[in-house]
């Protein structure tokens, strides 16, 4: 006897009328309609049942701090960094914890059950590290939080950053971060990549660097990151986040870079909402989009995930933990409007980041953990178009969030009373 049976599910790969059986928190059956005994049944009525959303790039130490200590007047990256510098000395562990937990509530409600968050290690007190390590434990029953030791002020540029980064890893932070384009010179940037990759290899950790978050076409640290990934045997464990300089690079150089990235097993993480707002700020017109070359990376075999990056913090006043909003923006900025490309945008906020994070038990196969989201949509493309309601969010076979269906009532003579935006 099953604990739960989800009937009449549509899956992201296009299979319809599938029943999903759940027992002891795991998926034990994924089959076309089959008679099965279950303690409980939910009729999914042909709507999309997906694995949970995964955010490959976030900053949980600054989230929900918008307006503290003041608003970013210009809305630029540089004023955001300056503002964060002003806010850091005023931070308390309790305030960081409270805001992070509130954001995790938002995330769960949106079916976002795994987040990789960078945590700034350039404050000698490591308050944010301590706070987020505690948050990681508190949310573990319902959300996987992976932490990256991020030297915001530059691991070589900031005098105590390397020591602090090592302390953060000793305390249990999961991933090695970096910011080579923010070091003082190109060669210092390259040196930081080498140093941090060697540190990760020695400790058996993953790497995720803010890499080339710049409109400067000569910012080529991704080349160095790919090189050291291959040299140190870190294939499949390294990601370059942002990579916005690739947007502005010379096409001939990119034709050499893409196969190098593919060979080295480096993944790319684009952050469409933030890249489209922060890049191209020194341009008049035409203004560059500033997002990395997503379709070309995918065509070269490089895994590409989309991240949220910021929600209501010194850099960005928007966001709500909705990875469908992120996919929606990614689809537009990258002009990924073909049928297959739109589905790749859905993968970029679900299965691809799950692989990049190395999540265990993630998937819709028998044996995977029963972490599922029922969406008010008929397929992944419709889910993105409607930023579909997460009717039901499940973790280990237990319902942890529900949202009523989006609907509207019309008061127009001669027209139907209820509006339903679905067509799939």
**Closest residue to Fe ion, based on beta-carbon distance:** 309
**What CA–CA distance (Å, rounded) separates 194 from 173?**
20
Is there a contact between 44 and 409 (Cβ–Cβ < 8 Å)? Answer: no
- Give, in degrees to the nearest 5, the angle at Cα 87 between 84 and 89: 120
Taking the complex as a whole, the smallest distance from the CB of residue 309 to Fe ion amounts, in Å, to 5
* Start-to-end C-alpha separation, the chain: 33
Stretch that binds Fe ion, among 195-203, 307-315, 339-347, 395-403 (CB under 5 A): 307-315
Stretch that binds Fe ion, among 11-19, 48-56, 83-91, 305-313 (CB under 5 A): 305-313
Q: Looking at beta carbons only, is 58 or 142 nearer to Fe ion?
A: 58
Taking the complex as a whole, the smallest distance from the CB of residue 193 to Fe ion amounts, in Å, to 17
Stretch that binds Fe ion, among 43-51, 173-181, 306-314, 402-410 (CB under 5 A): 306-314
Furthest C-alpha separation in the chain: 71
Taking the complex as a whole, the smallest distance from the CB of residue 28 to Fe ion amounts, in Å, to 39
Q: What are the catalytic residues?
A: 213
| Burial letters 323-342, b for 16+ CB under 10 A, else e | bbbbbbbbbebbebeeeebb
Q: Looking at beta carbons only, is 309 or 322 nearer to Fe ion?
A: 309
Q: Looking at beta carbons only, is 152 or 350 nearer to Fe ion?
A: 152
Is there a contact between 197 and 224 (Cβ–Cβ < 8 Å)? Answer: no
Q: Looking at beta carbons only, is 80 or 397 nearer to Fe ion?
A: 80
Stretch that binds Fe ion, among 254-262, 302-310, 329-337, 404-412 (CB under 5 A): 302-310
Is there a contact between 18 and 54 (Cβ–Cβ < 8 Å)? Answer: no
Bridge partner list, 209: 240
Q: Looking at beta carbons only, is 213 or 379 nearer to Fe ion?
A: 213
Determine the 3-state secondary structure of 368 from DSSP: coil
Binding mask 197-236 for Fe ion (x = CB under 5 A): ----------------------------------------
**What CA–CA distance (Å, rounded) separates 33 from 17?**
6
Q: Looking at beta carbons only, is 123 or 309 nearer to Fe ion?
A: 309
Q: Nearest-CA neighbor of 241 among 216, 214, 269?
A: 269
| Residue 401: DSSP 8-state | E
Pairing of the two strands 49-50 and 144-150: unpaired
Taking the complex as a whole, the smallest distance from the CB of residue 330 to Fe ion amounts, in Å, to 15
Taking the complex as a whole, the smallest distance from the CB of residue 30 to Fe ion amounts, in Å, to 36
- Phi then psi for residue 111, to 5 deg, are 75, 20
**What CA–CA distance (Å, rounded) separates 93 from 279?**
32
# chain residues binding Fe ion, by CB under 5 A: 1
Taking the complex as a whole, the smallest distance from the CB of residue 49 to Fe ion amounts, in Å, to 31
Q: Looking at beta carbons only, is 19 or 55 nearer to Fe ion?
A: 55
**What CA–CA distance (Å, rounded) separates 30 from 12?**
13
Taking the complex as a whole, the smallest distance from the CB of residue 269 to Fe ion amounts, in Å, to 9
- Phi then psi for residue 164, to 5 deg, are -65, -40
User: CA 349, 353, 357, 358 torsion: positive or negative?
Assistant: positive
Stretch that binds Fe ion, among 33-41, 68-76, 200-208, 301-309 (CB under 5 A): 301-309
Is there a contact between 258 and 297 (Cβ–Cβ < 8 Å)? Answer: yes
Q: Looking at beta carbons only, is 85 or 396 nearer to Fe ion?
A: 85
Is there a contact between 99 and 67 (Cβ–Cβ < 8 Å)? Answer: no
Taking the complex as a whole, the smallest distance from the CB of residue 211 to Fe ion amounts, in Å, to 10
Bridge partner list, 206: 175
Binding residues for Fe ion, rule: CB under 5 A, are 309
């Amino acid at each position: 006897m099953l604990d739960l049976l989800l009937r009449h599910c549509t899956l992201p790969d296009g299979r319809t009328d599938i029943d999903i059986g759940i027992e002891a928190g795991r998926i034990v059956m994924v089959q076309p309609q089959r008679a099965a005994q279950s303690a409980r049944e939910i009729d999914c009525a042909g709507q999309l049942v997906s694995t949970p959303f995964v955010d490959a790039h976030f900053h949980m130490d600054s989230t929900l701090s918008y307006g503290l200590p003041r608003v970013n007047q210009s809305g630029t990256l540089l004023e955001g960094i300056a503002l964060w510098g002003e806010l850091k000395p005023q931070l308390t562990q309790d305030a960081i914890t409270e805001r992070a937990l509130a954001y995790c509530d938002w995330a769960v409600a949106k079916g976002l059950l795994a987040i990789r968050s960078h945590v700034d290690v350039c404050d000698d007190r490591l308050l944010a590290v301590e706070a987020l390590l505690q948050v990681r434990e508190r949310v573990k029953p319902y959300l996987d939080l992976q932490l990256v030791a991020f030297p915001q002020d530059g691991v070589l540029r900031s005098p105590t950053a390397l020591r602090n980064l090592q302390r953060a890893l000793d305390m249990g932070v999961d991933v090695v971060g970096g910011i080579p384009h923010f070091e003082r010179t190109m060669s210092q940037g390259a040196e930081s990549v080498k140093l941090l990759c060697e540190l990760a290899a020695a400790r058996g950790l993953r790497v995720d660097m803010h890499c080339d978050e710049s409109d400067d076409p000569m910012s080529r640290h991704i080349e160095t990151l790919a090189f050291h990934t291959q040299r140190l045997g870190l294939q499949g464990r390294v990601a370059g986040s942002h990579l916005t300089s690739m947007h502005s690079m010379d096409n001939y150089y990119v034709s050499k870079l893409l196969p190098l990235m593919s060979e080295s097993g480096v993944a790319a993480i684009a952050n469409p909402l933030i890249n489209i707002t922060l890049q191209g700020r020194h341009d008049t017109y035409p203004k560059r989009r500033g997002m990395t070359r997503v379709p070309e990376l995918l065509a070269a075999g490089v895994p590409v995930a989309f991240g949220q990056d910021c929600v209501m913090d010194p850099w960005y006043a928007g966001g709500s933990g909705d990875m469908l909003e992120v996919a929606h923006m990614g689809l537009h900025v990258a002009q990924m409007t073909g049928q297959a490309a739109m589905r790749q945008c859905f993968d970029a906020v679900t299965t691809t980041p799950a692989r990049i994070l190395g999540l265990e038990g993630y998937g819709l196969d028998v044996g995977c953990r029963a972490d599922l989201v029922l969406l008010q949509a008929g397929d992944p493309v419709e889910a993105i178009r409607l930023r579909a309601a997460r009717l039901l969010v499940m973790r280990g076979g237990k319902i942890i969030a529900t949202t009523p269906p989006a609907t509207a009532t019309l008061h127009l003579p001669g027209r139907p009373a209820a509006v339903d935006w679905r067509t799939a």
